[in-house]
Every structure is written in C-alpha cells, then in structure tokens.
Amino acid sequence: MTSNKKITRQAVSLFHRKIKEAERIAISGHINPDGDCVGACLGLCAYILDLDPKKKVDILLEPISEKFRFLAYADHIMQEKTEEEPYDLYFSLDCSDKERLGAFQELFEEARFTICVDHHISNQGFGDLRFIDADASSTCEILYDILEEKKISFDTAQCLYLGIVHDTGVFKHSNTTRKVMEIAGALIDKGVRPDFIIDETFYKKTYIQNQILGRALMESILLLDGRIIFSAIKKKDMDFYGIESGDLDGVIDQLRVTEGVECALFLYEKTEGQFKVSLRSNGKVDVRKIAEQFGGGGHVKAAGCTVEGNVRDIVNSISPLIDQQLEQGKDV
Ligand code: 5GP
Ligand code: MN
C-alpha cells in the first residue's frame, strides 16, 4: 500500500476482509470499457484469484477490445450472471455513478456488500465501501494504493500498469505525478514490459483504424479563431469501414494537440441521430461541467456525454459553453 490521504487503514482492512469472507464475487466497470476500466477489473480479478484460486470471480462487463484480450482472466469477462443468488461482494470500478454500470446496475444493487473504487470528480459516492479519489490518475492507481504490494503478481501488475498508461495518455496528461511514475516503476519491477504494453495496447493501430484517424483529422473544423476543434464520424461511415467505437481511440487525443486549440470535441454516431461526444481540454475549460449539462460526466480535462441531434446542432449547443469559459480566462 502506498500513501494516499483519502484512503484510511480501516477502509483498506475492510476491503481485504470482505474479499476473504466472500465466496462469490462480481466485478464490473463502466459501459464502453476503456483501458483503465479493463485493467482495473482484470487486475483485481487476478489479485483475488492469486490469493485464493477457489473463489468464484465473475467479471460482468461489456465485451472488451481485442487488444486487451491477452491479459490474464480476460476469459472471466461475461455479460450474463452465472448465479441465481445475489453476489456476496460486488465491485464497481472506474464508474462515476451506478448508471455507468449499464446492464449490471441491478445486480450490483442486490449484492450483499458493494465496494466502489473510482477517480471521477463527478462521483457523488455510492456503494457500502468507497474509495473515491479525484486526484488519482486512474482507478488502477487507487487499486495499487489498496492492494498489498507483495501480493501483486505479474498478471495483476500488467493490468494496473495498462490502466495507468491509458488514463495518463502514456504518462503525458497532467494527472501524471511523481507517485504515478513511482507506481509504474514498482510495476516494472514486477516484470511488466512498458514497450509491449504501450505499443500493443495504445499506439498500435490497424490499417483501417489509421485510415479513419486520418479521415477524422482531415475533416476536422476549427471554430472560435482556432480555439475549438471538432470532428465527427457518422454511423454510415463507421458501417462502411466496418469499425466500432473502440477503433476511434486516439482521434480525440490528436485533435487536442492541434496548435492553438483549447478544447477538442469528437463525435461519433452511436445509433441514428444519437452521438457520443468526447471532450478534451488543454487547461482553460472545465469540460466535465459541460458534459454534465448534457447528462454526461468525467474529469476536468477529459469528459463525455451522449446527445441526440445532428452534428451541427450539437456543436452549436456546446461551443457557446466553451466560449463562455474561455471568456473568463481562468485556468481550471
Ligand atoms: P471518453 O471521451 O474517452 O469516452 O471519456 C472521457 C472521460 O469521461 C472518461 O473518464 C469517461 O469515464 C467519462 N465519460 C465519458 N462519457 C461519459 C458519460 O456519458 N457519462 C459520464 N458520467 N462520464 C462519461
Ligand atoms: Mn479511469
């Protein structure tokens, strides 16, 4: 356990006691699982099964990207419960609220004991035991704080490292602290290979993924004297290329690093007339506040929401809110 002022010793010992006492455990993360979510779910599963292989651990999660499937216990991921009885213990990882559990919210609610581990600033607190730290880079960082260092195996280490890599954008976002680097170092000591994890799960793209990235950049539009950039992909284009949402990872990051840009928006059409919006800030706009106005959430510099309408109307309703914050000229 590393030092984390938001986590008490009592809470940590209850976490470990609950794992010890539970026979049937479930772990869920948020809908549309990203690297931190997948790393947290699989890392915790590996940790529990390393301690006691006889325990039953179900990971109830939407299907994950192919690029994460090499991680240990990826085959424990399922979309249907295997038990009639409520789970003894249920973990919600990387979810800012219960709704983000999607189809598994009800199973979480009926479990005998629930634990929430999360780092979203918009998390108001839910679950019987809570580890919520908006200063943490990732849910995987908080898990590292909670887990007993000497019991972290290579399998768990690899998952936690992957989660940290993804939520820090490979150690470059402003959530990359000295502590993050120290944890990453400790995980490397467990045998994790940074080159492998970073290239295979973050940078590597299929030819089609590169094509769609190129297209999204080529069709991007600057607004407000170049301080906002947006791009959008329609469902018919996603169908044409045969791609899913996970194939669009990295588009928003590249838009954000466009010179002069303060805020980047990327939209993709989930179903006809309904767009998932990703927002990223370079420090002058609190994008979480904006996403929340549309029923979404996230972090100050990275947030998202789902909005009905066409691209023009959605961008026209979001950009004045960005403009307002830019006018105030404050750092977030
Ligand atoms: P992304 O744009 O990569 O999907 O999400 C950026 C951040 O915002 C992530 O931390 C993600 O969990 C959060 N986020 C994205 N979409 C939503 C949403 O619809 N609701 C909430 N509460 N958070 C979201
Ligand atoms: Mn996260």
**Residue bearing the CA closest to ligand 1, atom 9:** 298
Structure token pair of residue 309: 């309408």
The residue whose CA is least distant from atom 14 of ligand 1 is 304
The two structure tokens encoding residue 233? 């992909």
Distance between Cα 36 and ligand 2 center (Å)? 5
Q: Tell me, in angstroms, the distance from the centre of ligand 1 to residue 220's CA.
A: 21
Has residue 96 got a pLDDT over 80? Answer: yes
* Mean pLDDT value across residues 117-141: 97
CB 164 within 8 A of CB 145: no
Ligand 1 atom 18 nearest Cα? 296
- Mean pLDDT, rounded, for 299-313: 96
> Measuring from atom 2 of ligand 1, which residue has the nearest CA?
278
* For ligand 1, atom 6: residue with the closest CA: 303
SS3 helix, strand, coil % of the chain, rounded to 5?
45, 20, 35
Question: For position 83, what pLDDT does the model report?
Answer: 80
What does the pLDDT read at residue 2? 56
| Alpha carbon of 323 to ligand 2 centroid (Å) | 27
Q: How far is Cα 77 from Cα 27, in angstroms, rounded to an integer?
A: 9
Q: How buried is 65 (Cβ within 10 angstroms: 0-12 exposed, 13-18 middle, 19+ buried)? A: middle
* Atom nearest to 252 CA in ligand 1: 2
In ligand 1, which atom is closest to the CA atom of 167?
10
For residues 113 and 22, the answer to whether their CB atoms sit within 8 Å is yes
pLDDT digits (tens, 9 = 90+) for 85-94: 999 999 999 9
Strands 297-298 and 302-308: what pairing? Answer: antiparallel
Please tell me the distance from the alpha carbon of residue 162 to that of residue 144, in angstroms, as a whole number: 12
Ligand 2 midpoint to CA 301 (Å): 13
150 CA distance to ligand 1 middle (Å): 33
Q: Percent of the chain scored above 70 by pLDDT?
A: 99
pLDDT in tens, 151-189: 999 999 999 999 999 999 999 999 999 999 999 999 999
Query: Is the pLDDT at 1 greater than 60, yes or no?
Result: no
Q: Is the pTM of this model over 0.85?
A: yes
- The ligand whose atoms approach the alpha carbon of 303 most closely is 1
Residue 6: its pLDDT value, please?
A: 83
pLDDT digit string, tens, across residues 28-85: 999 999 999 999 999 999 999 999 999 999 999 999 999 999 999 999 999 999 888 9
Please give the order of strands across the beta sheet that includes 297-298. Answer: 221-223, 228-233, 263-271, 274-281, 302-308, 297-298
* Domains in the chain: ranges and CATH: 9-202 (3.90.1640.10), 207-328 (3.10.310.30)
User: Who contacts 166 (Cβ-Cβ below 8 Å, separation ≥6)?
Assistant: 34, 35, 36, 39, 138, 201, 202
Q: Give the integer Cα–Cα distance in Å for 154 and 294.
A: 41
The CA distance from 43 to 192, in Å, is 13
Residue 298 C-alpha to ligand 1 middle, in angstroms? Answer: 5
Lining ligand 1 with CB less than 6 A are: 30, 96, 100, 122, 278, 296-299, 302-306
Helix or strand run (H / E) with residue 263: strand 263-271
